[in-house]
A = this chain, B = another copy of it.
Amino acid sequence: MVDAGPCCVPSGAPAMSVERAEALSRQFKAIADPNRLRLVSLIYSSAENEACVCDLTELLSLGQPTVSHHLKILVDAGILHREKRGVWAYFSIVPGALDALAGVLTEPE
């Protein structure tokens, strides 16, 4: 095989650290699901920017265990906040969580 020589001079740019990439990856994985994207969209669009499980279950035409499973993943990833009031759990978007992820995409450094 012929040695093609260097393709370019390495830029020397530091890569995003492994630790930061892994933490961000967990949050992006939480959002990277069609049902979870729709849940976040519904909560964002709801009056008061919060919604209860029953509301979300009805709007998405999914079973409550399925919706609760997806909501838990979003809560564990720090994207949604869960608050129990009476018999119902209400979900809202953690302030700044989505903006922080968006910032990674607009300036992925």
Give the chain B neighbours of A14 by CB distance below 8 A: 45
Number of copies of this kind of chain in the complex:
2
Q: Does A101 lie at the interface of the complex (its beta carbon under 8 Å from any beta carbon of B)?
A: yes
Task: Name the distance in Å between A46's Cβ and chain B's nearest Cβ.
Answer: 5
Can you give 24 contacting A-B residue pairs, CB < 8 Å? A4-B87, A7-B54, A7-B88, A7-B90, A8-B52, A10-B59, A11-B47, A11-B51, A15-B59, A16-B38, A18-B38, A22-B34, A24-B34, A29-B29, A31-B32, A31-B105, A32-B32, A41-B108, A44-B108, A98-B105, A98-B106, A99-B105, A102-B102, A102-B106
Q: 7 nearest interchain CB pairs?
A: A28-B32, A7-B88, A21-B34, A102-B102, A13-B45, A102-B105, A16-B41
User: A residues bordering B, Cβ < 8 Å?
Assistant: 4, 6-8, 10-11, 13-16, 18, 21-22, 24-25, 28-29, 31-35, 37-38, 40-42, 44-47, 51-55, 58-60, 86-88, 90, 98-99, 101-109
